[in-house]
Structure 1
Amino acid sequence: MLNAHRLGFRFSPDTPILEDISLTLKAGQWLGLSGDSGAGKSTLGKLLAGYLMPQTGYVTLEGAALPKNGVQPVQWLPQSPELAVNPRWRVAKILREAWTPSDAQCQAFGVKPKWLSRFPQSLSGGELQRVCVLRALAPEVRFLVADEISTMLDPITQLELWQALKQEAQLRQLGVLVISHDTALLERLCPQRLHLSGGQLKPY
């Protein structure tokens, strides 16, 4: 179980982004998060995954603090995959940074063998996003924060990516927080949904 306990965060003293945020994400649960631009959705996702430290409150995984070393059990997947990879590494090394997926796992996410010898900039945004999602599924991972990961993808690629992720999450009972402006997408994917506004979480 991933818990946020009364999180608070602000980028300046007079501009609170998040105030007193608490939520629970269970194993196997798909939870949707919507909100206007600048509402703090990505900030909350980064706090949950340990990419940012809360200024007030804390995050726990099964009652303990997030680990500081090794592959992190909570993975944050950003909208722009090119920002999440080393452009000097070939795709095979990018994947091996976290783990070595099987051929079947690569096939499930549409990662083609010929991509492995390429550099990230030679792939399209959709192709690179497939690589980044697959990289985030190391055996140690238990929760995913999917932050607008399909916004820039064409409809077919969106469908294929979410279908593959759904199957993997169901198999491993991964908890997934889906952050999106697309309320129709959230309704299709997530039985439970929340809306972030004015630094507060509200039922959607």
Structure 2
Amino acid sequence: MLEAHQLSFHFASGSPLLTNISLRLAPGEWLGLSGDSGAGKSTLGKLLAGQLTPHHGSVTIDGSPLPKRGRRPVQRLPQSPELAVNPRWRVGKILREAWTPSDTLMEAFGIEPQWLKRFPSALSGGELQRVCVLRALAPGVRYVVADEISTMLDPITQLTLWQTLKAHAERHQLGVIVISHDTALLNRLCHQQWHLAGGSLRVSSTALKAP
């Protein structure tokens, strides 16, 4: 179980962004997170993935704090994949840094073998996003925070990406948090939905589907 316990986070100026945020996500469950731009959705995603430290509160998995060393069991995928990779590394090295996925899984995500020899700048945004999603699914990862990962993609690429990720998550009982402005997408994918506004969470829709 991934749990946030009364998380609070504020800007350097001291102005609060998130206040007493609590949520829980079970293995295999999908949670949708919506909210206006600037509401703190990405910040909350970074807190849940251990990329930021809350000023108050904690994040735990099965009652234990997130590990501070080694590969994180919670992986966050940003909207802009080029910001998540080393531009001087070839795509094959970027993948192998995390793990070596099977040819079958590479094919499922639509990743062409020749991409592995290229640099990130030689791939389109949709191609690089697929690489980043696959990289995040290494053994030991239990939860994924997908932060607007399909916003810039064409409809066909969006559909393929979400279908493949959902199938993999179901097979391995991964919990997934989907951050998006797209209500229709959240309705299709998520078992529960939360809306972030004014630094607080409220239930938008819950128990849409059984996990």
Indicate whether 1:162 and 2:162 are aligned: yes
**Percent identity at matched positions?**
71
Amino acid at match of 1:78: P
| Number of matched pairs | 204
Deviation at 1:200, TM superposition (A): 0.4
Structure 1 counterpart SS, 2:83: helix
Match of 2:104 in 1: 104
Q: What SS class does the counterpart of residue 132 from structure 2 fall into? A: helix
Aligned counterpart, 1:124? 124
One-letter identity of the residue aligned with 1:26: A
- Whether 2:47 is the aligned partner of 1:43: answer no
1:28-84: per-residue Cα shift (whole Å, max 9, x none)?
A: 000000000000000000000000000000000111111122211100000000000
Using the TM superposition, give the Cα deviation of residue 191 of structure 1 relative to its aligned residue in structure 2, in angstroms: 2.3
**Does the residue aligned with 1:12 lie in a helix, a strand or coil?**
coil
- Partner of residue 145, structure 1: 145
Q: Which amino acid aligns with 1:155?
A: P
Deviations 1:90-128 (A, max 9, x none): 000000111000100100111110100000000000000
Corresponding residue number in structure 2 for 1:187? 187
| Cα distance in 1 for residues equivalent to 2:119 and 2:13 | 41
Rounded Cα–Cα distance in structure 2 between residues aligned with 1:188 and 1:15: 35
Q: Does 1:86 align with 2:86?
A: yes
**Structure 2 residue ranges without an equivalent (≥5):** 205-211
Taking structure 2 as the reference length, what is the TM-score of the superposition?
A: 0.95
Cα distance in 2 for partners of 1:116, 1:70 equals: 25
How far residue 13 of structure 1 moved from its aligned partner, in angstroms, is 4.2
* Alpha-carbon distance, 1:198 to partner: 0.2
1:149-203, Cα deviation, whole Å (9 max, x unpaired): 0000000000000000000000000000000011111111112100000000001
SS of the equivalent of 1:38 reads coil
Shift of 1:12: 3.3
The within-5 A match list for 1:62-81 is 62-81=62-81
TM-score (norm 1): 0.99
Q: Which residue of 1 aligns with 2:34?
A: 34
> Whole-Å Cα distance in 2 between the matches of residues 90 and 8 of structure 1?
38
Output the amino acid matched with 1:18: L
Deviating 4+ runs (over 3 angstroms):
none
Unpaired runs of 5+ in structure 1? Answer: none
RMSD: 0.7
